[in-house]
Structures are given as structure tokens and as C-alpha cells.
Amino acid sequence: MPQNNKILEVKNLKTYFYTDDGIVKAVDGVSFDLKELETLGIVGETGSGKSVTALSILRLIPQPPGKIVDGEILFKGQNILDMNIKELQDFRGNRISMIFQDPMTSLNPVFTIGNQLMEAILAHQTITKKQAREKSFQLLEMVGIPDIKRRFNSYPHEFSGGMRQRVMIAMAIANNPDILIADEPTTALDVTIQAQILELMHELKEKTKSSIIIITHDLGVVAKYANRVMVMYAGKPVEFSEVDKIFYKPCHPYTIGLMRSITRLDQERKNVLKPIEGSPPSLIDLPIGCIFRVRCEFAVKQCSLSYPELLEVSPGHYSACFRANELFAGFKNLDFLKTKK
Amino acid sequence: MVYFIIRRILQIIPVIIGVTLLLFILLYIIPEDPAQLILQKGATPEALANLRAKMGIDQPIYVQYWRYIKGLFSGNLGTSYRYQRSVNSILAEHYPYSIKLAFAAIIIEIIIGIFAGIISAIKKYSIWDVLVTISTTILVCVPVYWLGMILQVTFGLKLGWLPMSGYGDGSIRYYILPAVTLASVSTAFVARMMRSTMLEALSNDYITTAYAKGLSQFKVIGKHAMKNALIPVVTLIGLDLGSLMGGAILTETVFNWPGVGRTIYLAILQRDAPVVVGGTVILVGIFIIMNLIVDIIYAWLDPRIRFEKVEPNI
């Protein structure tokens, strides 16, 4: 079960990209915290700033054009943004490690799996190559790679996608990190493999006693594995809460829209999926006011005047909407919305 | 792998046949009588006919060609019209010079080309990048013989730092100008290709993975990006080595370098067909062998193209 001490705190993070077309505010004022042994889900559509948030935590934003312009990222009280390059190298992959979206491209094609795995170990542990090799075998076994001795000397192209993601996970847990960030770890995989990988991550989390930030656009994944969820839209957090509350009582029109656009087994056949009208805005020259208002069916005049701050609608449940309290009070669950036009 | 190498070596045979056939036909078309060439003016028709019969050039072209091919596969490249010596010995005498020059040029190409390319990629849009881009553009555009002459005039004549031409006592001073000239265009190409492949490699996901593991920039670039970026560059350098080994006709002529390139050049002027054909055959042969070596290095660099069987996915 998640503890109460915060292991990671992100405060007002702003990551901008300076492009020829203008400043892309990919992440614009994101704040959240992560508790020990907790799994936090970050949800949002493509371009909502989920991955940039994750990359910012490890300061992996390509610079230029990207830059973290403001904010604090506190790991056990230490600001990651203040670290020098040496401290950062010691930190990355050691205290916080990362699993990426596409295992097809995140492993270097010209080095063996063993080489890349040992490299991750030797970057942070002062042990002999032989010991690192032993450790690699253990890791590969933990993530369920068969025929380890032979596989150790295989190249990434000799592995399937699921196997590669297992290797990525082995690399990520090689140094017993406190936090594992998984950036859409299953998006590029087959559905059957997706479940295996998520189960594996869940298992290893229990074993290694680490916290997980899982970035996804799959609400099913969030529902199953996350303790708390942050929903992002256009670089800002719009709703943040424990997972049950978000699913049973979404208090932001965007989250409500997301819930309505997923297929459910228990849904009646005559119900038609209701997509969110319109498309996400360009992150250059964002308008004043709430960014979602142009797609929002609850929009009022105030929405175009200023951006709504996160409002605590119930303990630990935040929503960035002027009408959050109304939405919270207005309906008990999603069925109410289904009957609406 | 062995099978691959044997197959590639056997592929040399049809290429050699094609090249020699083409050259044979071309030289046959030239309305020059080798016998006349050897005996000079004033030879009697009987003497000419005798010589032709002796040399076998009064036979139809296919007979001549067949005889040549037979000689070729037993290692005999024929006899020079001009020098009355075997072509083998002429080429053997000049080849070492060409090879030495080629190696000098390749070393310059590898060191300067790769280094400039990496700097230019890592410091993209910096003053260094601009400098590399401009100088490589100029080098690619400038004709080799012109660059050679400018270098000769500047460093040989005006400044007097380096010898203008020739092999001299074979000391390194004699190598510098011809090697730089010979390497100029290919160095520029290597630098440009290195820049683009390096940039391409650096934009890959596995680079982010490497940084996320906590590796230093030196290790990420020097190991992860480098090996991927080098693959196309190695091809380029290998092909260059192949063509440089065959002798550099222009550079060797400008610098009066006693290599095989200049020998072929002189042989063309003198209509010395056996030397031209023999020299070209060797050039082609070396080119193909170099290609083979490149392919082998390639397979080492990129495991995805290790031939034969690929293990099935699990």
C-alpha cells in the first residue's frame, strides 16, 4: 500500500520548446506529488504533455529546442533541476529510471542485450564485469527471459517487442531505483503482451519496493494499476485524484468526455460512443482562459476570461474547472450523462 | 560468413571478364598499330607483318581476347609495347608508391573527416559547424588538380615549406601535399556524411535510453551514437580506399608521383594497351576486394546484416 511520505514533488513545472513557429508550451504549470510505493497514472491524449513531463523529471528534454523554464522537481527534498551534470548522471537510472514507449527503437541495435544491460549496472555500481554479468542474468530471469545464457549475447533485432520491453524493464530496475517512470510502456505492443508487461511491472514494483509513474492514454490500465491519476490537457493538469474518484465522479468536463468515449462491456448496445468534439489546440499562442472551453459543453462566460486554478472538490480530488463544484454535486455517476443528449 | 566471402570472391570473375572485354574492344577500335608503335617510323612492311604475327595481333579479336584471358588467369598481364617488359613487373614496380600514398590519404580522410563531422554534429549551428560546412562545400567543388597546383605554388614555391613534387627520399614531407590533395574531396564527403549520420543517430530513442541510464555524454556519443553513425561512413571510406589503391591518376600526375596512376596515364598517352588494360584489371580487382572487406566490417558493425541465418523471434 502507498505510504504517506512524498518521494517526489513536482511544483509548477514549465517546459517550453522554442521552435521557428513560436514557443510551444508543452508543459505549462504541472504540479503533482508521488508517494512511496504508489503508482501514479498520468493520462491524456497525444500532445498533452505527459511524456514531456516524464522526460523533464530526468532532465532528458533535448535542449535546444526544449527548456525547463520554471518549477521545482524535488526528489526526497533535493531539487533535480539544481543538480550539476555529474550529480545528474549519478541520479539517472539509479534513483529514478525510465521505460520508454517503443522497445523497437529504445534499445541500441548494434550492441547485445547483455552489453546494454551490463552497461546500466556498471554505470552505478562498482563491481567487476563478472559480477555485473551474474547480476544481468538474475535481472533477465526476473523479467522472464527464457534461455538467458544464449539470449544474453543476442541483439535486439533477435527479440520480439514484448521481450525487448522486458529487457528495458530489466535495465530500468537494475539499480533498484526508488521511482520507475514508464512512458506508455505498452502502446507499441500487442494487446496480449500488454497485459503481461503490465503484470510484470506490477509484480516487480512489489518486489523492489519502488514507486511507479505510468503514463498512458489507456484508461483501463489506469483503472487497474494506478492509485492516483493526473489527467492532462494541453500541457496542464486538469484533474488529479485517487483513481476511484476520477472514474466514479469525474469533475472536469474533459475527464467526463474521456469516460464517455471508452467502450464498456456493461454498456447497452443502443448507446453510441460520444467523442469529444473538436481537436486539441496548438500549443503555440494559447488563448487566455480555459483552453478546453472551445470543446466544452459546460463552458460559461468566465471560462474565456481567466484560467481556472485547481480546485479541491473533495479531499485529495482536484479539478481545474470553474464549475467543478457543480459537476461534483450535479450527478452521482456517469449514467446521468449517458441519458443526456 | 565463409560462404559469403567465397561467393563474393567468385563474383570477381565475371566483373574482370566484363572489364577486360570492354577495354579490349575500345583499344581494338583505336586505329593505332602496335607494331608501328614499337618499330617506329620507317619500318618495312615485312618487318611490321612479322612483328604482328609474333605478337599475335594479326589474329581476330576473339582469339586475342581468349589468349589474354588465359594469360590473365595464370597471372600474366602481357608485355608492354613500349618498354618490352612484362606488365606485371611494371605494375609491381609502381604499385607500392600508390599504396603508400593511398594510405596517407586515407589516414587524413579518417582523422580529419570523422573528427570534423562529429564536431559539426555535436555543435550544430555553431561557428564550428558553419566552418566545416563551408570548407567541405569548397573542397567538394574544387577540382583536384587545381587544388594540387595551388598547394604546390603556396607551400612549395612561395613558402618553400614542402617539396613541390616527386617521391624524393620517401620522407613524410614528400607525402603531405599529394596526400592532402588526394584526400581533399573524400575528406569533405566523409565529414558531411559523418555529420548527417551522427545527427541522425543522436536523434534516436536509444540515445535517450542511454542518457536515462546515467551514462556520460562522452559515452553516449562515443559508444552508442558512434557505432551507428559509422556504418555508412565506413562504406564511404572503404570505397575510397578501393579507388585510391588503384592509383590516383590526376594527383599522381600533378605531383609527378611514381605510382601506378601516373603509369596508366603515361601508358594511355603512349597507346601502350597492355599496360592500360593490366593496370585497370588490377584496379578493378583491388576495388572489389576492398568492397568485400567493407562488407565484412559492415557485418561486424551492424549485427542486423550478419548474413546467413537470422534467429527466429520468440
- At position A285, the amino acid (one-letter code) is D
How many of the other CB atoms lie within 10 Å of CB of A263?
A: 7
**Can you say how many angstroms the Cα of residue B253 is from the centroid of all Cα atoms in its chain?**
15
pLDDT at A324: 77
pLDDT at B308: 46
Nearest alpha-carbon partner for B281 in B17, B7, B6? B17
B307 touches chain A (CB under 8 A): no
pLDDT at B191: 92
How far, in Å, CA of A313 to CA of A327, rounded? Answer: 9
Residue A236 CA to residue A310 CA, distance in Å, equals: 10
Across B190-213, average pLDDT: 90
B253/B165 Cα distance (integer angstroms)? 10
| Domains identified in chain B and CATH numbers | 95-305 (1.10.3720.10)
The 3-state DSSP class for residue A41 equals strand
Burial B79-102, CB ≥16 within 10 A → b, else e:
bbbbeeebbeebbeebbebbbbbb
The distance of A279 to chain B (nearest Cα, Å) reads 28
Dihedral-angle region of residue A57 (phi above 0 means left; psi in -120 to 50 means alpha; beta otherwise): alpha
Q: Find all residues with CB under 8 Å of A119, minimum gap 6, and list them.
A: B213, B215
Let me know if B12 is exposed, middle or buried by CB neighbors in 10 A (0-12, 13-18, 19+).
middle
- Nearest CB neighbour to A119, from listed B213, B217, B304: B213
Interface with chain B: mutation pick from A110, A150, A167, highest number of B CBs within 10 Å? A110
From chain B, the residues in CB contact with A110 under 8 A are 227-228, 231, 301-303
For B192-218, what is the mean pLDDT?
A: 90
In this predicted structure, the answer to whether residue B311 has a pLDDT above a threshold of 50 is: no
Task: Supply the mean pLDDT for chain B.
Answer: 82
pLDDT-flagged residues of chain A (< 70): 1-4, 267, 269-271, 330-341
Domain locations in chain A as residue ranges:
6-231, 234-339
What is residue A169's predicted lDDT score, i.e. its pLDDT?
87
Among B210, B206, B209, B230, which Cα is nearest to B219's? B210
Q: Which residue among A58, A97, A157 places its CB closest to the CB of B304?
A: A157
Q: Residue A282: its pLDDT value, please?
A: 77
Q: In what order do the strands lie in the sheet with A6-19?
A: A22-35, A6-19, A66-75, A78-79
Closest Cβ–Cβ partner in B211, B212, B303 for A110: B303
pLDDT, tens digit, 9 for 90 and up, residues B112-171: 999 999 999 988 888 898 999 999 999 888 888 888 888 888 888 888 788 877 777 777
pLDDT reported for residue A326 = 76
Mean pLDDT, residues B251-268 taken together: 86
Compute the average pLDDT of residues B219-243.
85
Distance CA B227, CA B201 (A): 9
Q: What is the pLDDT of residue A1?
A: 59
Query: What is the model's pLDDT at position A206?
Result: 82
Q: What residue in B sits closest to A124 (Cα-Cα)?
A: B214
B22 torsion bin: left (phi>0), alpha (psi -120 to 50), beta (else): alpha
Flag whether residue B123 sits within 8 Å of chain A, measured between CB atoms. no
Q: Strand A236-242 to strand A311-314: parallel, antiparallel, or no bridges (unpaired)? A: unpaired
Q: Where are the alpha helices (H) located in chain B, listed in sequence order?
A: 2-10, 12-29, 34-39, 45-55, 61-73, 87-108, 115-122, 127-141, 144-151, 172-202, 205-212, 217-219, 226-245, 249-254, 260-269, 273-301
Torsion of CA A284, A285, A289, A295, to 10 degrees: -50
Helix or strand (DSSP H, E) at A206: helix A191-208
pLDDT reported for residue A341 = 39
CA distance B3 to A254: 62
The grid cell for B39 is 618499330
pLDDT at A334: 45
Asked whether the beta carbons of A28 and A235 are under 8 A apart, the reply is: yes
Considering chain B, what percentage of its residues have pLDDT values greater than 90? 9
Residue B97 identity: Y
What's the gap between Cα B235 and its chain centre? 13
Cα separation, B183 vs A21, whole angstroms: 41
- Burial class of residue B29, CB neighbours in 10 A (0-12, 13-18, 19+): exposed
Mean pLDDT of B177-194: 89
First to last CA, chain A: 41
Chain B within 8 Å of A107 (Cβ-Cβ)? Answer: yes
Q: Is the Cβ pair A111, B224 closer than 8 Å?
A: yes
**At A13, phi and psi to the nearest 5?**
-70, 130
> Does residue B189 register a pLDDT over 60?
yes
Between chains, do A109 and B310 touch, taking CB under 8 Å as contact?
no
Residue found under cell 563491481: A127
Q: Count the neighbouring beta carbons within 10 Å of the beta carbon of residue A198.
A: 21
Name the residue among A100, A111, A119 with its Cβ closest to that of B208: A100
Fold topology of A6-231: Rossmann fold (3.40.50)
- Asked if residue A14 lies in contact with residue A28, where contact means CB atoms within 8 angstroms, the answer is yes
Q: Helix, strand or coil for residue A13? A: strand
Q: What is the pLDDT of residue A85?
A: 87
Give the mean model confidence (pLDDT) for residues B206-233.
89
